[in-house]
Every structure is written in structure tokens, then in C-alpha cells.
A = this chain, B = another copy of it.
């Protein structure tokens, strides 16, 4: 950081214009990623925050000012049509992902799409097809499973890939939150199937499934599932809401998504997997916890302590072995060389900085980014199998290959 930049006298890197659709929670996080990536990493492409899009003209203009976007649009078609936009970043609810992403790809833009990729397998399939067509044209598409870019997760993947765990026996993932515990929490879009597709399953379970498969390096072969909606009626919204908060009115309406989803499964290798996604675990705020047990070692991670990775080396003598807490802040850890000295924590939004950096690197070098739309579709197929199993009395249901 304090070394003279050897390339100082060289030409600055070319820019890539970003257009973002949606500016709520995810939009704010993505903005931070785009703004910061080039300030921390030496990038081959410098992102230009060209325009942000939202339906409310006043609000989107304010968001543009706040988050540093040069222009504001109120129709996503106009955003896509802009010449200064080469990459469309989709931060809207899942019901609009397919339409926007396909249009952007057809308009010759690169696309980054928030997870879950879509609200149905059919939509996701159409998106993959569009991405494949666009790929021939040099365009890239990526889905935003940002937790792969937590350094501890990225390093955990490296350890598994290097064989430190040996043959996998178990993968267990819980993603526990508690913002729906209170029955007075109102009926936001996240609780309606027509917007959100599903509840805890698509919101939290999608992350859980992606992380499990990413870390294990292999897909789920099949699943058995139970889902539940504990609070079936909630107050209608009184006023504007982000999905995660808002005030309720005196009237109520039906919750049409799951509050919680539990499922077990088998990975392709035969390892067993267990999953729990819920918004009803009082006291758990963002407890995405992953553990993998293999013949040679185990790994554990908790998103509430995201700078740490827990590792047990089973090849050590039992007398001195045990889970060690690796503080994932060394320069040799993924992404860390560009940040602070050892022991200085990163946070949640850094995943978006890393995502922006990796996508810009991929575009500059013409390599396919991960996770791809195909990866997003595969997660969608797992979620579909979960829903099918839940409807069929939990019977074991293969995931479409």
C-alpha cells in the first residue's frame, strides 16, 4: 500500500460503465462495492457509476446523489439502453430478474444479478440460455452469491480443494435469523410468493445451498424437506418498506411463503448434508453457519464472526489436535493483501467489493466469472426439489441434473 506504484507513469486503466437497477439494501451494498473496489485493488478496469434506476423519480435521484451515481433513470429499459452502461447490475426483487437480465444481455451488456437467480426454474433456464448466447458475443453474466467472497469462505474452499479434509462425510448449514419472530411484523414483499418466490428458502436457503456446494466442490444429488409457515396472517403494510422493516396497519393478510425450511440431502459423493433456513430463531441475527467433516479434517464458519475460520486437522495426534480459530486476515488469505495488517477485521460489505473486483477482472481477461448463471440455475433446481419434497411428504427427491 505504501510502495510506489510502478505503473504510475502508465496510462490509467479503461473504465467500464455500470448501471444498477434497484437502490434499497442490496443497491446500497453494491454501490459501496463499485465505489471502493478500485480504491483498494489494482484493477484492469475502473468502474464508472454511470446510472441507477428506480420507479420513484425523486427517490432514485436522491439515491443517486447519496451513493455516487452520475445519473438516475426511472425505467430499467432506459438504463439498459444507455451508451455509458456496459454492465447491468440487478438488485431488484426476484420476480423481475429474468426480464431485466435477458433484456440486458440481448442489449449487449454484461450482467450481475442478485441471488436467487430467479423465482422459478423456468425463468432461470431462460436466463442461462440468454447468457450462453451472449457469451458468444464476449458478454459475461454472474449471479451474486456474495458470501463466496468472504475471505474465510474463499480460503475454506481452497483448503477443501487442496484435500485438507479428505473424503467428505458431512456438510451442515444453518442460516438462522429472527426478524419474523414478532407476529406484528408486517406483510412486506418478502412475505408474498408473487414477489419473493419463496420465504426463508429462497432468501436464506439459497445462500446455504450455494455455500455448501461451493465449499464441498460438488452438487446435491437429492433432498428431503419440511417447510413451515408459523405465522400465517400478518398486518398489511402501512407505508413504504424495504422488505426487512416497516409499520403495520390494522388490517391483515395471508403470508404466502415459508417461515422456515429444513432439509437433508446427499451430495454426489455420498456425503450427507443438512440444511435449516429460518427467520424465526430468536436471538440469531445472521447465523449462517457451515461445517464440513471429512476423513482428514473439518472446517466450520459462522457469518456472525466472518473474519474467522475454524479448522480441525485430523492428521495431527489427538493429544494436541482441536479446532483452531484462524483469523483470516493474513496477506496470504484471499483478497487480504489489498486490505489491512493482520488482525484488522473486514465486514459484510467487503464481499461486494470483492465481487466487483472479481467480475471486473473476469471481464478484462475474458474469463468466465463464478458463480455463473448456470450455477444460479443449479441452486434454483435444488430449491425446486426442496419445495417438491416438502409437498410430497418429505420424500427424497432427486435434484434435476
Taking Cβ atoms with an 8 Å cutoff, the residues of A that contact B are 1-5, 7-9, 12, 23-25, 28-29, 31-32, 35-36, 39-40, 42, 56, 58-59, 61-63, 65-68, 155, 159, 169-170, 172, 174, 176-179, 181, 183, 224-226, 228, 230, 240-242, 244-245, 259-260, 262-266, 270, 272, 274, 276, 278, 280-287, 291, 293-298, 303-307, 311-312, 314, 317-327, 329-330, 332-333, 340-350, 389, 392-396
Contacts and interface: CB of A to CB of B under 8 A. Distances in A.
Contacts of A280: 169-170, 293
Contacts of A287: 343
A344 B286 contact: yes
A9 to B, nearest CB: 7
Contacts of A303: 343, 345
Nearest to A259: B169
A8 B311 CA distance: 45
A314 B378 CA distance: 37
A349 B340 contact: yes
Which 3 A-B pairs have CB atoms at the shortest separation, nearest pair first?
Answer: A286-B343, A285-B343, A283-B312
28 contacts: A2-B25, A3-B59, A4-B240, A7-B62, A8-B58, A25-B341, A169-B230, A169-B280, A178-B293, A179-B341, A228-B266, A228-B270, A263-B264, A264-B394, A272-B278, A281-B298, A283-B297, A283-B314, A287-B343, A303-B343, A303-B345, A319-B333, A323-B325, A345-B345, A346-B348, A393-B396, A394-B396, A395-B395
A274 B272 contact: no
Contacts of A225: 264
Contact of A23 (B2, B25, B174): B2
A303 to B, nearest CB: 8
Contact of A270 (B230, B264, B276): B230
Contacts of A174: 172
A170 to B, nearest CB: 6
Given A242-B1, A305-B305, A324 B327 contact: no
A304 B62 contact: no
Contacts of A31: 39
A59 B8 CA distance: 8
Given A270-B230, A340-B348, A347-B346, A322 B283 contact: yes
Nearest to A28: B1
A169 B263 contact: no
Contacts of A322: 283, 311, 324-327
